[in-house]
Amino acid sequence: MKRVASRSVSSSAKPTSRPKTVDEYLAAAPEPARSTLNKVRAIIKETANRAVAPAEVTEVISYGIPAFKIEGPKYKGILMWYAAFSDHCSLFPKVSVIEKFKKELKDYRVSKGTIHFPMDKPLPAAPLKKMVKARLAEMAGKKRRG
C-alpha cells in the first residue's frame, strides 16, 4: 500500500515561518479544521483544568503543532498534541492511550501514535475526555527522574 505524506497546516501555510503560539497556529488553519480543532482544544483544556490546577496547564507549540503541557508536582510533561493536515485532523495522545481505547476508536483511522478524524467533525466529547483522563493517570503514575 502506497503511503501519502500529509503536511501540517503550519508547515504548508508559511514554509519559512512557524507559528509561535497555539492561537497563531489555529489562525493559520483553514475552516472547517480551525473550528474542529478549537472544539478539541476546549474539551482537552476543560478536562485537564478540572483534574489539575489551571495554572499548571499551558498551551505550547511542540514539534510545530499545538500541545497541552503540564508542569506541576503530580504531573509533568506533554499531555497530548493535536493538529490539522491537508485532509484530516489528528490527535496525538500517546500510543498507550490509543491502545486502551482501541474499541472506541474503531470508526477512526488510527496509527501507532495518532488518531485521524475528519476536518469537519471533532472527536466526540465523551471518549476524548476519557482519553485525557487516562493520559493524566498515566502521567501521575510515572516515576520522576531526579
Report pLDDT digits (tens) over 40-59: 999 999 999 999 988 899 99
Domains for the chain: give ranges and CATH numbers: 18-138 (3.90.1150.200)
pLDDT digits (tens, 9 = 90+) for 110-132: 998 999 999 999 999 999 999 99
Q: Cell triple for residue 13?
A: 501555510
Give the pLDDT of residue 110. Answer: 96
Q: How many CA atoms does the CB half-sphere of 7 hold within 13 Å?
A: 8
Q: How far apart are CA 104 and CA 33, in angstroms?
A: 22
pLDDT given at position 7 = 46
Q: How confident is the model at residue 16 (pLDDT cuts 50, 70, 90)?
A: low
Binned at pLDDT 50, 70 and 90, residue 3 comes out as very low
Distance CA 81, CA 44 (A): 10
| pLDDT at residue 113 in the model | 92
Q: Could you tell me the three cell numbers for 137?
A: 493517570
